[in-house]
């Protein structure tokens, strides 16, 4: 069995259980929110915070796997997302959305390390995507910048510092 056949078989098995997976994407975040709320009610709220961070990290991991699978399906297997099972497309989005909504009911997202990681990773991804788009607009060796050389140096330095600070925050640095 080739890797392509394996991926298609995994998709078929998941598509056959699409409604069950969509139901799990609703029930598990709600149960996790309940567990977080119970964990917050103890002597300290450390248990609740740990559960909330774990919930967010699990939802992020599921969403990242979904994005990778969609990218592989579109780019390598030449499949269209419009032909995919709608429950499989909706499951990770619902899971992440309900997780963030439920955890937000219990804790402020600014107080959770996983939520800050999600924000910083999203900013980094958007910045890198914007840079890739910008550099894809140039064909050949000619680059025209309407401004001074010093302005170009300042812009490049600011973008580099922004990316560096995001990477430091993601890695847990100051």
- Do 152 and 72 lie in one domain? The reply is no
Neighbours of 106 (CB within 10 A): 23
How many Å separate Cα 160 from the centre of its chain?
Answer: 22
- Do 96 and 63 lie in one domain? The reply is yes
How confident is the model at residue 104, as a pLDDT? 92
pLDDT digits (tens, 9 = 90+) for 74-128: 888 888 888 888 999 999 999 999 999 999 999 988 888 888 888 888 888 888 8
Residues 6+ away with beta carbon under 8 Å from 9: 1
Instruction: Supply the pTM of this predicted model.
Output: 0.74
What is the extent of the structural domain holding 81? 1-106
Instruction: Please measure the distance between the N-terminal and C-terminal CA atoms of the chain and give it in whole angstroms.
Output: 48
- Do 100 and 113 lie in one domain? The reply is no
- Do 171 and 98 lie in one domain? The reply is no
- The rounded distance, in Å, linking the Cα atoms of 105 and 42 is 17
Domain termination site, one of 85, 106, 127: 106
For the cut 70, the answer to whether the pLDDT of residue 3 exceeds it is yes
- Do 80 and 16 lie in one domain? The reply is yes
Stretch 125-146: mean pLDDT: 74
How confident is the model at residue 140, as a pLDDT? 60
């Amino acid at each position: 069995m080739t890797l392509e056949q394996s991926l298609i078989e995994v998709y078929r098995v998941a598509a056959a259980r699409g409604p069950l997976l969509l139901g799990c994407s609703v029930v598990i975040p709600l149960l996790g929110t309940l567990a977080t709320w119970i964990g917050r009610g103890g002597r300290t709220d450390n248990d609740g915070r740990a559960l909330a961070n774990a919930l967010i990290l699990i939802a992020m991991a599921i969403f990242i796997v979904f994005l990778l699978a969609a990218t592989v399906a579109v780019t390598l297997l030449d499949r269209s997302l419009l032909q995919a099972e709608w429950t499989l497309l909706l499951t990770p989005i619902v899971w992440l959305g309900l997780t963030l909504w439920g955890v937000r009911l219990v804790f402020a997202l600014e107080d959770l390390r996983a939520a800050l990681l999600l924000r910083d990773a999203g900013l980094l991804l958007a910045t890198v995507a914007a840079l890739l788009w910008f550099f894809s607009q140039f064909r050949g060796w000619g680059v025209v910048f309407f401004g001074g050389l010093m302005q170009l140096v300042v812009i490049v330095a600011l973008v580099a510092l922004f990316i560096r600070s995001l990477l430091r925050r993601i890695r847990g640095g100051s």
